[in-house]
Structure 1
Amino acid sequence: MASFTPQQQEAISTLDRNVSVSAGAGSGKTRVLVERFLKILQERKATAQEILAITFTRKAAREMRERVQKGILDRLGAAAEPEEKAYWQEQLQLADRAPITTIDSFCSQVLRENPVEAGLDPNFAVKEEYQIRAFREETAQAFVQKEIQQQDGDLAALLDLYPADRLARILVALIDDLPEILALPGGLAAPYEVSLGGEEAGKIEAEGALDALLESRDLAGPKSRAKLDALADQREAIHQWIAAGEYSKASAALKPVSATGKIKDLVKEAKEALARLETLSLDGAGAEQARHWENLLGRFRQALLDAAESREIYSFGYLSGRAVELLEKRPNVLFRYKSRFRYLMVDEFQDTNEEQKRLVYLLSGGSSRSLQGRNLFVVGDAKQSIYRFRGADVSVFRQVRDAIGETGGDNIVMDDNFRSAPEIIEACNTLFDDLLGTDSRSDVTAQPLHPHQPSSRKPVFAVLKKGECTLEECQQAEGRYVAQAIRQLREDTGLPYGQMAILLPAIHLSRQYEEALTALGIKSQVSDGKGFYERQEVVDWISLLTFLLNPRKDWALAGFLRSPYAGISDRQLTDLLKPWPELSLWESLRQSLEEPFVTLSRKLEALHRTALFQSLPELMDAFQEAFAVEPTLLAQRGGREKLANFRKLRALGVKGAMEDGDTARDFLDRLNLMRRLSARESAANQEADPEAVQIMTIHKSKGLEFPAVFLPDLSKKNHNDTLGIQFLPGQGFGVRVPDAQGNLLETSVYTRLKGEKARLERAEKQRQLYVAMTRAEKYLYLINVDESKEGSRPPDPDKEKWGQSLQRVFAPEGPHGDQMDWEKLDVAEILENQETGQPGAGEAFVLDPAVYDRGRPVTVPRDLELSASALLEYDTCPRSFYYHYFRHMPGIDPETVGEGSHRISAIDLGTYVHRVLELLQEEPEEEALAEALEVLDRTGAEKKVFAREGRKLVEQYCASPLYQELKDLPAQAERDFALPLFQLEQGRAVFQGSVDRLVTLPDGRLGIVDYKTGHPPTDGEEKQGYTRQLTIYALAAEILYPGQKVAWARLHFLQDCSSWELKDREQEEEKLKALVENLLIWDKEEQFPARKEGCQWCPYRYFCPEGTGEQPAVDR
C-alpha cells in the first residue's frame, strides 16, 4: 500500500471515536475517505452496507464507489486464504448497493422507505428546478390576490410599501428561508423592541460624544474651530432636539463639521451616535411592519405547503426537511437507521447547514441537539466553503469540530499539499494568512500548507493600469493579455492548451476571453453550470419557433434571419422591407424573387406547415435538414459546443413530446419560462478537447486541478441588494420604513444585518480566491485591472477587491514582493499592440477541416443543394426541375390513391410503407403495420386506406426473393446523409437523402436497397433519374463508411416486386458529374427545356408556357 502522512494515517485508522479532518487543498482527502472505508472493512468493523458515506455531489458519490470497488478488488486479488477471499468477494457484491450517496438522495430514500409515517406517496417525484420555480411564482401570485380579495390588514399595510407584483416576488425570494424566519426567537419584532429599549442609552451616548467634541475645540484648525464655535452656540438647542427625539435636526447641526485633522475621530464618533439615534427612531415603525410580515409569511408558508402537497410539487430542500422531521418525531424509524449504519462518513462538511447537522447528529447518536454517538467522521476545509448562496453555513463545521473535541474525539489537520508547486503554495500561505487571519475562535482561519511538489515558477501578477480607458476597453485588454500569455506559455513549455484553464467569478465574463483566444487561433471550451437557455443557438431556435407559430411576430423572424442559419445582414433586411413598407417582414420575404430570400421563404413555409400539423420531433428534424444545422453550427467558433447544445435542446424537446405529449407550442412556452426564470440548466456535456483552453467558473472548478491556471477579473464588483429585505438565521429580519416623503429608510436591524451579510459575503469571496489559486499545479497567472488614480488613498482593507488585496500584500517594495513576478502594463498599450493569430508572410495557412472553430468563422459552401431523388425530376422534365429547385415554386396536389373523400397521396402512402419496412427489421409484420399506422395523424377512414393499400405492398415485398435473401443480414434502415459529393471549380454540390436499407454483406462490402412504391418503367429501358439516384447513394455510402465498398445498389419496386440494379457505375459517376457542372452554371429558364409528353401530370403545368394553362383532370 502506498505510504501516508502521519495525519492521513491517523484519519484512516482512528475507528473508535468521532473524527473531524480539516483537509487543506490538495491534501488527499478523497484518498483518505476511500482508505478509511476500506480500513473499516479490513478490520471487519462493518460490512459495505453498514457504512453510510455522504458526498456533496452525485459525481463524487459515483467516483468514491468506483474507488472503493477497486480497493476491494485489489484486496480480493491479494487474499491467500479461502475464507479471506470469500469475505472480500462478499464485500465486492455489497459495494454495488453500498449507501454511498448525497444528502438529498438519502433523505428521499428515508421518505420512500417510510411512506406511511412520512405521509407521502412512495412514488413521489422530485420536480425539475424550473417547475418548482414556476410553481412558487404561481402560488405567490395567487396568495397575494386572495389576500387582497379578503382585504387582509397585514397585506394592506405592506401594499402601502410594495406593489402587489413586487410583494409576490419578495415572497418567492424568501421561500427557502421561511422555516428559519418563522423560528426567530421572540418573533420578527423582537430585535426592534430590544433596539427601542436602548434609545435612552443612545441619547446619553450622543450627548457625551458631542460634549467630548466641543471640549476638544482647541485641537481643531481655524476653519473647523469656527464651525465648532457655531455648534457650541447651538448646544442647548441640540440637547432639546435629542430629548424630544428630533434627531435629524441634531444631525443637521453637526453636518458642517468635517472629520479631519486631530478631531477626526471625535467628529466621526458624534456623527455615528446621532445616526444611530436617527435609525432608532425608525425602529418603532419597523417593529410594526415586522409583525405584519410575520403574520403574512406564516399564512403564505401554509398555503405553499398545502399547494405542494395537493399538486405533489416537491423539491430536494422540502424533502430533506421532511426527512429530518420524520427522524426527529418517529423514534422507531430513527432506531432502524441508527442501527443499520455502524459508521457515518460525511465529505465536504464545510458546505453543510444547520438542518444537515441535525440529520448527521440523529444518525450518529439519536439526538438532533447534541453529538452523542462515536461513529462520526467528517472531512472538509473551511477555507473552501463557497456555497453560502445555496444555504451552506461554514460555522456549522466549526460547531461540529468543537463538539467532536468535547466528546473525546480527534480533530485532525491535514496540511500537506501534493498538488501545487512550492512557489504557488508560498504565495497562497502569505496572502491568506493576511486575509483570513489566525484567530482560532473564527469559523475560518488561515492554515499554512506544506508543498510536496518540485519547484516551478513564481506566480505571475499582471497589473493593467486603466488610465482613461473605458470599462469595455479594459475587458478587451484583459482578454488579449490572457490569450497572449497562454500562447507564450505554450511556446515556452510545450504545455497543451487543454491543460490550461481560465477561472472566472461568473460565466458571463467568458466572451472576451473566447474572442481573444480565437483571434490568436487558439480554441477554447466553455464549461459552466448554467446559462443553457441564453446560449445563442438556443435563442435562435426560440426565435424560429416563435415565428413559426405566429408569423406576424416580425421581431422573431428578424432574429432568426440574422442567425447563422440564414445569415441575413441588417442591410439586407432593410432592403427587403423597402419595396413593401405596408407589409410585415414575413409578407415581404414571400414577395421577394431574389436569392437568398426565395430559398428562405420556401424553407420557412415548409417548416410553418410542419409546426402546425406535425409533431415536435418531426419539426426539429425538418429544421435540421432544411438548414443544415450540423455543418452550420460546426462552422462557427465553439462549433462543437454549439452543436452539443442543440442536440441537448432536441433531446429536451423529444423527451417532452414522448413523456408529456408536448407540442411545439408547449415546448416554446417552456423555453420562454426557463429564460424568464433564469433557470440553472448546464450546457450540454462534451468531452474535454485536449487542444482547447478550458474556461469555467471558480465554483465549477472546485475539486479539479490544472497545470496552468489564469485568474482574471480580480476587480469584479459584488451584487447589490435588490430585495429590500435583510435576513440572517437566528439574528433577525430587517425591513425598511417610509419617511414623510415615502422614501424607504433603513431600520437599525436592517443596517446591522446588511453589514453582517456584507462581511459574510466578503469572507466567502476571499475563500473563492483561495479555491481558485489552489487549483494550479505548476503555473499561476493573476490579472488585475487597476482603476486607482495617481495619489489616491488605498481602500479600506475590509472593502478591498481581490486585485487590491493582491497589490497590497505583494507590493513590490513590501516584504512579500519577491513572491510574485510582477508585470505592469497600460490598458491603452495593450490595445495599441493588438496581435492576431494570422500567419505571417511566407507561411501557409491550413484550416483543419475537422475543427471548424479555430480562427474566424467560415461559411460552408452551399452552391447547390439537392435531394438524392431530385435528378429523377430532371430526367422527367428539366423545366419542371428548374421551377422546383431554382424558382422554388409551389406545385399542384400530387396523384392520390383510394376512393371518394378518403383518398391519400401516393407520397404519403410511400412514407407509410417505408416506415413499415424500417420496423420490419425488429418487429413482426403485423406489429410493424400497426405501429406505423398508430403514429399517423389521420382520420380513421384515411387510416383504413393506408392499412389496405400499404398491406398489399408490404405483403408482396415479404414474399419476394430479395426480402428472403437479405432478411438475416445486418442492415441499417433509413440511413440519412447530407454530404458534399462533388467539389468542383464552379462550386459545391451537396446531396441530401436517406438510404432505405443499407446491408452489410458477408464479405464486408455494402449493398443498397431503395424501395419504390410507384410502378416501374414499362418500356424495359432504364430511366436515367433512377440510375443517378443509385449512384448518389453509392457515393454517399462509401463516404459514410470509409474502407467499405458498395458491391451493388438496387431499386426494388413494391408494386410488382421487380428489382433494378445499377450497372457501369464508373461511367454513371462521370455522367452525373458532368450534369452537376452544368447545374452549377445554368440559371436561365431556357437552359432547362420542357418535355411535353409529361405535361398532363406536371405539377407546374399551370405556370409553364409550354403547358395548356389548364390544370390536369383527376379521376374522381
Structure 2
Amino acid sequence: MAHDRAGGQRNGRRQRLSVALRGRLRVLRIFGRLRLRRFVGQASQMRERRGNCGNSRKRGGKRAMNRNFTRNQLLALDISQEKNVAVSASAGTGKTTVLVERIFRLLEAKRTSVDRLLVVTFTKLAAAEMKERLKESLSERLSEPFFAEQAQKLEMADISTLHAFCADALRSYFYVLGLEPNFSVAEDSVAQELKNDAFDRVAESELNAEDEVYLRLVEMLGKKSEQTSFKQTVFRLYDFFVCRPDFDGWFEEKRKYYFAEGEGNPFLSALDDELKKGAFAFESAAETLAREAFECNAAAAAQYAQTLASCARLPDGEGFFSHLKRLSEAEFPVFSKKVKAELEAFPDLLFRLDKLTNRLKRFVWTQTEKFGGESAEALLARCRKNVVYIDKLSELLKKLDREFFRLKREKNLLDYNDLEHLTLTLLDDEQARRELCGRYDMIFVDEFQDVNRVQNAIVEKLRRENNLFLVGDIKQSIYGFRQCEPRIFAEKTERFKATGEGNVVYMNDNFRSHAAILDFVNTVFSGVMTYEFGTADYAADGMFCGEGDESIDGVCPVILNCVTEEKAAPKKAEGLFNVRRAEIRDDVCRAQARLVAAHIKEIAGKLTSSGRRIGYGDIVVLMRSLTNRARVFCDVLSGCGIPVAASLKNDVLGKEIKDLLNFLRVLDNPLNDIPFAGALLGWFGGLDARELAVVAEKTNPDYLVKRTEEYCAKFKDGLSDKLARFNELRVKYGFLAKCVKADRLVAQLAYSTGYDMFVSGLPNGRVRRTVLNRFVRRAENSDGMLCDFLSYFDKSGAVGESGAAEGGNAVRIMSMHAAKGLEFPVVVLPCLEADFVVENPAVSAGGELGITLDYYDFDKKEIFPDVAHAANCLVNRRKQTEEELRLLYVALTRAKNHLFVVGAGKEYLFRNDAFRPTAATNSFSWIMDAVTRKFGSQDFHGTRRLGGIELNAVAKEAVPSVSENIAEELDGKKDIAWEDFVYPYAKATTLGTKVAASGLDKMNSPVFSNDFSSDLFSPVLEYAGGATRTELGTAYHRLLEKSDFAHSDAESVRHTLESCVTDGLIEERVARELDLKKITACLNNPELKALTADGKIYHELPFLATASFKELGLNASTEQTILQGVADMLILKENGAVVVDFKFTKRPDMLEKNYALQLKAYGLAVNKILGLSVETYVLSIDDNKLIKIV
C-alpha cells in the first residue's frame, strides 16, 4: 500500500537533488542567525518561572544531575553500556526528567552533538516541554564552548512529534518519491471531505459495474440497503487498514484461517480459549467455597460445591465443540434442605453459593445458545461462504486508498497516515535510509506504548545497533481506538530480556501521589492486571512505591463510596398530582452528583498539610465520556453554587450556529420555507411563534418569503417593521452572497452585524463564541461560494462543544482521556458503575483474526452467527475491556492529595466468587472486587476507615435532595393562579452581568435590541468601491495609537503608516484611502498637546471594574455589574487623569450626545481603579475638534 502511494514517480531524482540541498542550506543559514544572547534570556526566564515549583523531583531546583535519583532511575540513566534500553515508567515516576537527563549525560560524557539525536513523541506539547527542559539544562553550562554550541544547535535539533519528523524527511527527500516539497498537511475536516468524495467515486464505479458482490455487501451491511451506513462501515475498516504496514501480506495470512480444518481452526481455538477461561473461573470459585464449607463442618454444602465445580471442569486435549457438549450435558446439583440447614449459621456462605450456582447456569446457557446444536464442519463451511465478501471489502479498501490519495495529491495535501506510509516507503530506498540512519547517533521515543504497527516499522528501519532508547508505560496505553497497540512495547521488552539485545528498566517510585492513594491503586490492580489481561504484569513489574504524605486536613486521602438503592414496590397514585412539587427524576447519577457537590463544598477552602489552601480550581471530576452524565454533574454542581468549567460534547447544533445557518440557507434559496421560518424565529428575524402564526394567518402566497412581503404591503405595525428589516437584510446580504466567496460572507454576517455580540450574551457565551469562531473558520476551508460551503458543511457534519464557561477557580469536568499526562490535587471519579460501551459491529477487524462478518442468508433475509465473526468480536471485546482497565489506572493515578471514588449498586457490596476481570462490564466491579476480597464484604456497610482508605455505603435516599427545602416552603402557602403571576424582578432580566462601555449609549436608546438601523449595514455594499467607513475608522485609531505625539510632522506620520502596513496592522488597500493630513492635524491639535504635555500617555488600555447600573446611567438599580472596555488614550498627571476617545463619524455634531455615557463610564472606571479625578474628551478625527464631555 505504501508503495502504491509513491506511485513510481522517481524520475528526475538527481536533477532535483540540488534544489533540495539549496533549500536545506537556506534553512541552515536562517537558523544559524539565532543569537546565544536570546537563548540565555529565555533560559533565565524559565528558571525564574520554575523557581518555586513544589516537587524538586519533577521540575524545580537545580539541574537533575544534582538530584537524588532512585536506583531504577540511575539504571535508566546509565550510558556506560552500549545497549538498547526500554524504560517502563509508571505514572508520576519522572519519565520526562529521566529522558532529558539521559540526553544531557550523552552530551556531557560522550560529547554527542544535540543535532545527532532524534527525539520523537506524539504531541507537540510534550516535544516542546522536552526541548524547554533541555534548554534549561544547557543554559547552566554556557560558559563552556561545547555547551554553548549545543545551545545554538538546539532549535534545529530533531526533537518533535513523529509526524513532524516524517514531514521533514519527506520534504528533504521529496525527489525520491516524486512529491512536491511544498506539500501541506490536510486539516481533519478537509481530509474527511476528500475521503467522502473518494468513497462516492469508488461506490459509483462499483454501481456502474453492477458488481453483484458489491450490491450484496451493501444489502448486508447497510441499514435498509442505504449507502450511508455502508460508508461508515468502510471508513471504520479503513482506519484499521491504514495502520497496517503490509496490509496485503497480513490479509492473505488471515484469509487462510477460513480454510483451516477441524478444532485446530484459529477461530474455534479463540472461542475455546475464552470458554475454558470462564469455566475455570467457576471451577476455582466452587472449589474455594467447598473448602470454606468443609471448614464450617458443613459436609453436605461442601459436597454440593464440589459437584458444582465438576460441572464447570473442562479437560485438556478437547476442542471447542467437545467442551460445549460437556457443559450442555452437565447435571447441576440441587439445594437440599440439608445443605440449607447446615448453612443457616453461615448466611454469607449460603448467599455466595446460591449466587455462584445461578451465575454458572447463566454462563452455560450463554455459551451453548449460539453454536451448541451444530457441528464444526457445518459452521466452518458456512463461514467460508463469507470469504468472497471479505475479498471484496479488501478490494474496496485498496481502491478507496488509491482514490483518496489521488484527490489529496491534486491539492498537494498529505494526511498523517500518508506521512507515515510514505516515510516507510522512503526508508525502503537504500541511499535515503543510509543517510537518515547515519544522521542520528541515538534515537529516543517517548510514549512508546502508543505506537501502531506502521510507526513501529519506521522506528525499526531508522535504528542502528544499540542506539534505541524507549520510554513508555503499557498501563497507560489508552488509544486503541486510534489503532495503537501496547503489545508492541510488551513484545519489545520481552525480546530485550530474552536475547540480551537491550536492558529493561521498571520505574515505579511515584513522586506525585499520597502513599494511601498508591496503596489503593496497588490493591485494585495487583489482582486484575496481568500480562494476559492488560498486557502488563502489575504485581511483578508495576507495584507503586512512594512516601507522599501531603493530605488535606481532616480528610481521608482515599474515600470510596458505593451508592445503593432500594427498589420500592410501585404505589397506586391517588388524588391530584401537584406539578409544582414534582421533582426531576432523581436517578442514581443525580444522587451521585449531589454527593460529590456536598463533598466539594466540604473540602473547598481547607488547608493541606503543607499549608496550601484547596480551591475549586484544584478539583477535577473525571468521567469516562462527556455526555449526558457529565451534563447532569454540570447542572447539579452549578445549582449548588459551585463554579464549573467543562467542555461537553455536543452532536447537535447550538442556537449560535442554528440561527446563522438558517439565514445562510435563506440567502442561498429564499423559497426554502423551513430555514426561512427558522431565520425569522432566530436573531436575524426577531419574531416569536405567535407573530409567525399571524403572518401565516393573514397572508395567502405559497412561499413564506412572499407572505412576508405581502404582510409588509398590507399592514403597518411593529410586526411589519420587523419583517421589513429582515427582508432588507436578506436582500443586501443576498446580493453580497453572489459577489464574494463564502468565507468572507460568513465572516461579515458573524462579525459586522453584531451577531457575535448577541452570541456572547447568551448563557455560556464564551463557549458559544468559540463555537461560532470555529464555524467561521470552517467556511475558509470550503474555498467556494455559499452553495459550495453549505454542501461542504452538510457532508462533513457538525460536531461542536458546549458547556460551562472556563474559569480559573472552577471545578473542572474532564474526560479520563483528556486528563492523561496531567495531575490534580483532588480527583473525583463518579459513575464508575456505568457499563462499558461494547461494540458489536456488522464487520469486525482485528490484528489476530483478520476481517470477519456474520453470515447473511439472502433467501431468508436472516443473519446467522458466524464462528469467525464471533471469535473476532470476542478478541476485540477483550481488548476493549483491557483498555478500560488501563483507562481506570490513568484516572486513579491523576490524584496528588485526595481521591474521591463513587459508584452505585448494592450487589457490589458482596463478594463475587466467580468474578472474572475479563468479563467485567464496568470499572466499579474491578474496584469493589479488590476491596471486598481484601477487607471482606461483611465489613463494607455504613462507614469504615482502614488506614488511608474510607469505605462508605451510602443509600441513595440518604443523599440530601436540593428540592427538599423547596417542597417544605410550599407547604401551607396559598396557591395563586399562574396566569396572574408577575415576576417581580422582570427588569433585572434585561440587564447583563457584564456590560461593554462602548455599548452603553445604545443600551439606553429606546430603539435598542433588534434595531437593524441603516448605519449597521451601510458598509455592506461598499466593497466594490473600496474600504468601508468602519475599516477607515479602525485604521485611523490604529495609526493614532502607534504615532509618537512628540514627532507629529507629516513625514513621521507617513513612516508610522508604512510600519503599520508592514506589520499587518493596517491593510494596504485601506492605507491607500487614509487622509494623513487628518492624523497630522490631530497630533498637532493645540488643546490635545496641552493635555499631553505634562503627563504619561497610555494607548489602548483595557480595563474591568464593578459599577451599579445607576452609576452607569442606565436605570435606578443599585445592582452591580462588570464594566468592561478599552480606553483609546489615558493621560496620567500629578493631580488627576484624562481619558481621550477617538471618533471617526459622519456626524461630529452628535458626538457629545451619542457618546456621553461611554465617556462617563471610562471616567468612572479610571476613578474606581486608580482613585484619581478624571476628565473625559472626545477627539473628532474628521474635523480635528477636541470636545469635553461633562
TM over 0.5: yes
Describe the superposition over 1:73-122 as per-residue Cα deviations: whole angstroms up to 9, x where unpaired.
2233xxxxx6xx22221122222222111111111111111100122111
Summarize deviations over 1:312-335 as a string: whole Å, max 9, x none: 3421112111102211x1121112
Contact 1:715/1:784, CA 8 A, preserved across alignment: yes
1:63 positional shift: 0.8
Deviations 1:926-968 (A, max 9, x none): 9899999x9999xxxxx9xx999x78x7657756785699799
Aligned to 2:394: 294
Summarize the Cα distance change of 1:815–1:917 in structure 2 as closer, same or farther, 3 Å threshold. same
User: Is 2:1103–2:1165's contact at 8 Å kept on the other side of the alignment?
Assistant: no
1:750 aligns with 2:873: no
1:564-963 superposed matches below 5 A: 602=725, 606=729, 609-610=732-733, 613=736, 615-624=745-754, 628-630=758-760, 632-633=761-762, 636=763, 639=764, 642-647=765-770, 649-650=772-773, 653=776, 671-676=793-798, 678=799, 689-721=807-839, 723-739=841-857, 740-786=859-905, 796-797=915-916, 798-800=918-920, 801-811=922-932, 813-814=936-937, 820-830=949-959, 832=961, 834=963, 859-861=989-991, 914=1033, 917-918=1036-1037, 921=1040, 924=1054, 962=1084
Shift of residue 752 of structure 1?
Answer: 0.7
Shift, 1:440, TM fit: 11
Higher deviation after alignment, 499-508 or 459-468: 459-468
Counterpart of 2:450 in structure 1 is 351
In the TM superposition, residue 499 of structure 1 has moved relative to its aligned partner by 0.7
- The aligned amino acid for 1:403 is R
CA distance in 2, matches of 1:987, 1:714: 47
Q: Does 1:89 align with 2:148?
A: yes
Structure-1 residue corresponding to 2:385: 285
Measured in 2, the distance between the counterparts of 1:380 and 1:170 equals 32
Measured after TM superposition, the shift of residue 471 of structure 1 is: 8.8
Counterparts of 1:454-473 in structure 2, within 5 Å, are: 454=549, 456=551, 457-468=556-567, 473=587
CA contact (8 A) 2:1163 2:1176 kept: no
Tell me which amino acid in the other structure corresponds to 1:808: D
CA distance in 1, matches of 2:770, 2:734: 19
Is the counterpart of residue 421 in structure 1 residue 514 in structure 2? yes
- In the superposition, relative to structure 1, how do residues 53 and 269 fare at CA in structure 2: closer, same or farther (>3 Å)? closer
Q: Which deviations, in whole Å up to 9, do the C-alpha atoms of 1:1082-1111 show, x marking residues without a partner?
A: xxxxxxxxxxxxxxxxxxxxxxxxxxxxxx
Instruction: Work out the CA distance in 1 between the residues paired with 2:1000 and 2:668.
Output: 29
Alignment check: 8 A CA contact 1:55 1:347 kept: yes
Alpha-carbon displacement from aligned partner over 1:43-95 (angstroms, at most 9, x marks no partner): 1341111121112211011111111111112233xxxxx6xx22221122222
Equivalent AA in structure 2 for residue 413 of structure 1: Y
Q: Distance in 2 between matches of 1:667 and 1:201?
A: 48
Would you say 1:112 and 2:171 are equivalent positions? yes
Deviations 1:336-374 (A, max 9, x none): 222211111111111112222222222222xxxxxxx10
Q: Deviations over 1:416-451 (max 9, x none)?
A: 111112221112111111211366995554421112
Contact 1:185 1:730 in 2 (8 A): no
Q: Distance in 2 between matches of 1:259 and 1:574?
A: 72
Residue correspondence of structure 1 range 529-548 to structure 2 within 5 A: 537-538=656-657, 541-542=660-661, 545-546=664-665
- Give 1:434-473 correspondences, 5 Å limit: 434-437=527-530, 442-443=535-536, 445-446=538-539, 447-454=542-549, 456=551, 457-468=556-567, 473=587
Q: Distance in 1 between matches of 2:520 and 2:987?
A: 41
Residue 233 of structure 1: aligned partner: none
Q: Is the 8 A contact 1:463 1:784 kept in 2?
A: yes
Question: In 2 relative to 1, CA 9–274 (structure 1 residues): closer, same or farther, beyond 3 Å?
Answer: same
Q: CA deviation at 1:127?
A: 0.7
> Residue type of the partner of 2:884?
K
Deviates more, 1:5-14 or 1:265-274: 265-274
Query: Compared with structure 1, are the counterparts of its residues 1010 and 11 closer, same or farther at alpha carbon in structure 2 (3 Å cutoff)?
Result: same
Question: Contact (CA 8 Å) 1:461, 1:781: kept in 2 or not?
Answer: yes
- Tell me how many residue pairs correspond in the alignment: 946
Distance 1:29 1:268, change over 3 A: closer
**What secondary structure does 1:719 align onto?**
coil
1:1010 to 1139, 1143, 1154: 1143
- How big is the shift at 1:385? 0.8
Residues 724-783 of structure 1, C-alpha deviations (whole Å, 9 max, x = no match): 111112422112221341122232211111000011111111111111111111211111
Instruction: State the partner residue of 2:591.
Output: 477
1:309 is the counterpart of 2:409 = yes
**TM-score in terms of structure 2 length:** 0.68
Aligned partner of 2:1163: which letter?
E
Shift of 1:704: 0.9
From the superposition, tell whether residues 799 and 63 of structure 1 become closer, same or farther in structure 2 (CA, over 3 Å). Answer: same
Q: CA deviation at 1:306?
A: 3.1
Counterpart amino acid of residue 32 in structure 1: V
* Cα contact 1:603–1:626 (8 A) shared by 2: no
Shift of 1:301: 3.2
Residue 520 of structure 1, CA deviation: 1.0
Name the CA shift for 1:23/1:604 in 2 (closer, same or farther; >3 Å).
farther
Which residue identity is paired with 1:301?
A: D
Kindly tell me: are residues 553 and 432 of structure 1, through their superposed partners in 2, closer, same or farther at Cα, counting changes over 3 Å? farther
- Give the letter for the 2:862 counterpart: N
Please, which moves more after superposition, 609-618 or 711-720?
Answer: 609-618
User: CA 1:752–1:989 in 2, change beyond 3 Å: closer, same or farther?
Assistant: closer
Given the two structures, how large is their TM-score scaled by the length of structure 1? 0.72
Partner of 1:486: 600
Q: Deviations over 1:539-565 (max 9, x none)?
A: 565456556666666765777788899
Identity of aligned residues (%): 20
Q: 2: distance between equivalents of 1:125 and 1:113?
A: 14
Q: Give the AA of the match of 1:435.
A: V
Q: 1:291 to 1:350 in 2, by over 3 A?
A: same
Q: How does 1:499-510 map to 2 (within 5 A)?
A: 499-508=618-627, 509-510=629-630
Q: Which residue of 1 aligns with 2:421?
A: 321
- Structure 2: gaps (5+ residues): 1-65, 276-320, 335-359, 569-583, 608-612, 737-743, 970-985, 1043-1052
Partner SS state of residue 322, structure 1: helix
Contact (CA 8 Å) 1:995, 1:1010: kept in 2 or not? no
Displacement of 1:693 in angstroms is 0.5
User: 2: CA distance between counterparts of 1:691 and 1:996?
Assistant: 28
1:973-984 superposed matches below 5 A = 981-984=1112-1115
Task: Verify the 8 A CA contact 1:982 1:990 in the aligned structure 2.
Answer: no
1:1027 and 2:1156 matched: no
Would you say 1:388 and 2:480 are equivalent positions?
yes
Q: 1:593 to 1:407 in 2, by over 3 A?
A: farther
List aligned pairs for 1:1040-1059, cutoff 5 A.
1043=1170, 1047=1175, 1049-1050=1177-1178, 1052=1180, 1054=1182, 1057=1183, 1059=1185
C-alpha distance 119-815 of structure 1, shift in aligned 2 (>3 A): farther
- Give the distance between the partners of 1:454 and 1:46, measured in 2 at CA: 40
Note the residue ranges of structure 1 that are not aligned, 5 or more in a row: 77-81, 210-246, 366-372, 841-855, 875-880, 897-901, 938-942, 1017-1022, 1067-1116
991-1000 or 1027-1036: bigger deviation: 991-1000
The answer to whether structure 1 residue 409 and structure 2 residue 529 are counterparts is no
CA contact (8 A) 1:26 1:419 kept: yes
Q: Distance in 2 between matches of 1:523 and 1:870?
A: 28
**In angstroms, what is the RMSD of aligned CA positions?**
5.5
Asked if the contact 1:17/1:375 (under 8 Å) is kept, the reply is: yes
Instruction: List per-residue Cα deviations over 1:1048-1068 (Å, max 9, x = no partner).
Output: 6356484xx563633xx44xx
- Higher radius of gyration, 1 or 2: 1
Alpha-carbon distance change, 1040 to 908 in structure 1, aligned in 2, over 3 angstroms: farther
| Deviations, residues 588-637 of structure 1 (Å, cap 9, x unaligned) | 8987999899779858964874575374333222343685443x14xx3x
